[in-house]
Amino acid sequence: MTAVAEASPARPLMPVEQALEQLLALAEAAPIRDTERLPLAEAEGRVLASDLVAALDLPSWPNSAMDGYALRLADWQGEPLAVSQRIFAGHAPQPLQPGTCARIFTGAPLPEGADCVEMQENTAAAEDRVRFLAPLKTGQNIRPQGQEARKGEQVMSAGTRLGPIELGLAASLGHERLEVVRKVRVAVLSTGDELVEPGLPLGPGQIYNSNRRLLVSWLQRLGCAVLDAGILPDDLARTRACLARLGDVDLILSTGGVSVGEADYLGAALREAGELALWKLAIKPGKPLTFGHFQGVPVIGLPGNPASTLVTFGLLARPYLLRRQGVAEVTPLRFDVPAGFDWPRPGTRREYLRARIEQGQVRIYKNQSSGVLRSAAWADGLVEVREGSTPKQGDSVPFIPFSELLG
Ligand code: AMP
Ligand code: MG
């Protein structure tokens, strides 16, 4: 492996940006190229594989933005105009008879000859004649043809993630199916002799496996095909065998077994396979991170503490997975919020505090231990505290909402 530098104890911690940059470069070097054409109903969460071009003008004809009356402005001389037709949405109008107006409803096509729509609230109608009570302007309350998109115009670019809004836009242009990148196949492994699945009794020293559920659910939300490989005991032969069995996936994502000083079986198995980088990141929670390949398949090893898994997956592995599908914008939105806390101890790592916005201030959970997933369940997002900084009550601090990371 050449692109990735291995950290040694003497080296300084790797800044989060640098780790992200390296992971994104690795993702770009291994793009998922296969595509499939999916009906809109199945495309949510997927990534558009080719630019989407408008196949028609949107709207395809000028139409009314209001319930009211359509007229030719020059016909209004102060005398009431006769109503010569009623035009409902979904019905074709007749050309406007000169010297008359047309009753028209929102979304109905403008009749030929009309150049103005007045909303009904500004009119007085009696015996099928209408008086206009306010000054009129050419083009008012008319949605011109092609206002939203012109035929042939690019409306979405390849690499766009398809959510409800994008799917709605595609539908408005008449697309029934979209060309999307095939699902990324991710194998999820939870390492640790202490792990037990919920539903089974706990033996001495055992804990329930939370990372598996956290990651499998999260990956599914991200549109990945998940191969849930279950729990892997701390044992080199079994680690090797398990990795070899995983087969045709795009990424192996494991948690645990990457702490310093620990018997690191995942690392050992990757080292045998020839490609391993161990990073010590300037991030808290979540200092250790592994990247490597096993028989050509990329492997990301996240730290095992659940809050560390959450932060490192959200800030590093999630962007990596999106970039492999060609998503250009992988950085979560963050915005500044006044701190509702004091953080007096400057850190050497960038801290991601589980936090919640209340009454215009961001508060942090009382226990920021990396083992406490409850901190994240209480929180709405993460406050970023940069290396060496000591924000005080009222200072602006960057906040990343979980909604930005989870979808
Ligand atoms: P490790 O990175 O394996 O040293 O694990 C660090 C801490 O995270 C230990 O307390 C582990 O018990 C815990 N841990 C590791 N994997 C999981 C998991 N899948 N679910 C819950 N806790 C875990
Ligand atoms: Mg472990």
- Residue range 65-84, pLDDT digits in tens: 999 999 999 999 999 999 99
Closest among 307, 369, 359 to 337, alpha carbons compared: 359
**What span, in angstroms and rounded, lies between the C-alpha atoms of 313 and 330?**
13
For residue 254 and ligand 1, the question of a CB distance below 6 A is answered with no
> Structural domains in the chain?
16-34+183-324 (3.40.980.10), 39-55+156-181 (3.90.105.10), 63-143 (2.170.190.11), 335-402 (2.40.340.10)
Q: Is 267 in the pocket of ligand 1 (CB under 6 A)?
A: no
Which residues 6+ apart lie within 8 Å of 395 measured at CB? 338, 339
Confidence at residue 9, expressed as pLDDT on a 0 to 100 scale: 53
pLDDT tens-digit readout, 352-389 = 999 999 999 999 999 999 999 999 999 999 999 999 99
Q: Is 194 in the pocket of ligand 1 (CB under 6 A)?
A: yes
Higher-pLDDT residue of 67 and 247 is 67
- Give the predicted TM-score (pTM) of the model: 0.93
**CA–CA distance, 336 with 357 (Å, rounded to integer):** 11
Tell me: the pLDDT tens digits for 130-149? Answer: 999 999 999 999 999 999 99
| Rounded CA separation 373/377 (Å) | 7
Å from CA of 225 to ligand 2 middle = 25
Q: Is the peptide bond before 59 cis (omega within 30 degrees of 0)?
A: yes
CA 304 to the chain's CA centroid: 24
At 260 the pLDDT is 63
CA of 256 to the centre of ligand 1 (A): 5
Q: What is the pLDDT of residue 3?
A: 39
Atom of ligand 1 nearest to the CA of 303: 2
Q: To test ligand 1's pocket by mutation, which of 191, 195, 289 has the most ligand atoms within 8 angstroms of CB?
A: 195
What does the pLDDT read at residue 257?
A: 87
Quick check: 257 and 193 in contact, CB under 8 A? Answer: no
| CA proximity to 138, closest of 55, 42, 72 | 72
- Give me the sheet containing 123-126, strands edge to edge: 116-119, 68-71, 100-104, 81-87, 129-132, 123-126
What does the pLDDT average to over 108-115?
98
CA 87 to centroid of ligand 1, rounded, Å: 67
Chain segment 301-317, per-residue pLDDT in tens: 999 999 999 999 999 99
Nearest CA to ligand 1 atom 10: 305
> Distance from the CA of 275 to the center of ligand 1, in angstroms?
24
Q: Does ligand 1 come within 6 angstroms of the Cβ of 258?
A: yes
Pairing between β-strand 283-284 and β-strand 350-358 as defined by DSSP bridges? parallel
pLDDT of residue 274: 78
Measured in Å, residue 324 CA sits from the centre of ligand 2 at: 28
Q: Rg of the Cα trace of the chain? A: 29
Per-residue confidence (pLDDT) for residue 262, from 0 to 100: 62
* Pocket lining: 301 vs ligand 1, CB cutoff 6 Å: no
CA of 255 to the centre of ligand 2 (A): 8
210: Cβ below 6 Å to ligand 1? yes
With the most atoms of ligand 1 within 8 angstroms of its CB, the residue from 196, 217, 255, 259 to mutate is 255
Torsion of CA 333, 338, 344, 350, to 10 degrees: 0
Report which protein residue has its CA nearest ligand 1's atom 15.
304
**Average pLDDT value for the chain:** 95
